[in-house]
Homo-oligomer: A and B are copies of this chain.
Amino acid sequence: MPPVLINGQYGDSISVQDRGLNYGDGIFETIAVVNSQPLLWKQHLHRLRLGCKRLKIFALNWQQLQSEIATLLVNQSNCVLKILITRGCGGRGYKITESVITPNRILSLHPLPQYPKSWWETGIQARLCHTKLAINPALAGIKHTNRLEQILASTEWNDPNIAEGLMQDTNDNWICGTKTNLFLIKDNTLLTPTLYNSGVKGVMRSVVIQQAKLHGIKVIQRNINIVDIKQANNIFVTNSIIGIWPIKKLNGKMYSILMPLSFKFLYSDAIQKNKQCCKII
């Protein structure tokens, strides 16, 4: 197993009193590491800080965290860095009874995930999942560790040729993939679901939106229904590890992977660099 730093010490285990283990009381980031550098670091750190604030996880020493990450990444080849912050060890019961509780910091490196080259070049096959995302404004947007919905959705298929499953919320709005954010192109406009009620505000999603705006593309964040999906000219999914995968086939329907010319920003370094932390087979 690659090295893991737990509260600054190399190790491989955590107390069974940890609230992350007991209640999913935590938050995480999964970050592409290329040439020993965590990519899009400021954006990941921003989301992590926001998540801690939303979950009221205080008393995390951010300088210490960054110093530990730097230690872990010295001379590392391309890989994935996972930062897992739990509220800490806090007894039995949902209520936090301790006046000060020290969060646990679990920093781990993971080998390059392996994906076929074609998934970037000629697109992926995807499916529409039956498992729905709950409407939960209090938790929407952040990358917390209550992930049973994504786990159950991921159990819906075994075909290794299906790269991703899209998920709708209980109001039948399509929100995201199990591990990716969702974008549609229609009439030269970029559409992506609003994430006020469900889903994770992906770092790569933000980069794509920002780059699109820089390149003069109209970006609309709104509810996306099944008609939008059916009528889209192109569909693609994003995350911080893969960058972008175009969808070529979704529940049997074929989509073009030829993007309009104005979408050449999708091939920019800001978006494409991340896939260097994948092993392309």
What sequence of 0s and 1s flags, for each residue 139-166 of chain A, a beta carbon within 8 Å of any chain B beta carbon? 1000011111111111100000000000
Complex Cα spacing A96 to B158, Å: 10
Residues of A14-34 at the interface with B, using a CB-CB cut-off of 8 Å, are 14-26, 28, 30
Asked if A148 and B152 sit within 8 Å, CB to CB, the answer is no
A275 at the interface (CB under 8 A from B): no
Which residues from B are CB-within-8-Å of A139? 134, 148-149
Query: Most B CB atoms within 10 A — which of A19, A22, A150, A178?
Result: A22
Asked if B131 and A134 sit within 8 Å, CB to CB, the answer is no
A132 at the interface (CB under 8 A from B): yes
Complex Cα spacing A139 to B133, Å: 10
* CB-based nearest B residue for A155: B56
A138 at the interface (CB under 8 A from B): yes
Which residues from B are CB-within-8-Å of A113? 93
What sequence of 0s and 1s flags, for each residue 104-131 of chain A, a beta carbon within 8 Å of any chain B beta carbon? 0010101001000000000000000001
Complex Cα spacing A82 to B154, Å: 28
Number of copies of this protein chain within its complex = 2
Known contacts: A94-B151, A146-B148. The answer to whether A28 contacts B17 by CB under 8 A is no
Which residues from B are CB-within-8-Å of A19? 151
A268 at the interface (CB under 8 A from B): no
Asked if B30 and A17 sit within 8 Å, CB to CB, the answer is no
Asked if A145 and B13 sit within 8 Å, CB to CB, the answer is no
What sequence of 0s and 1s flags, for each residue 80-99 of chain A, a beta carbon within 8 Å of any chain B beta carbon? 10101011000011111000
List 19 A-B pairs, Cβ < 8 Å: A4-B16, A11-B16, A12-B17, A14-B21, A16-B106, A23-B146, A25-B147, A25-B151, A55-B151, A80-B92, A82-B92, A95-B155, A131-B138, A132-B136, A132-B137, A134-B136, A134-B139, A136-B149, A138-B149
Residues on A facing B (Cβ under 8 Å): 1, 4, 6, 11-26, 28, 30, 55-56, 80, 82, 84, 86-87, 92-96, 106, 108, 110, 113, 131-132, 134-139, 144-155, 170, 178-179
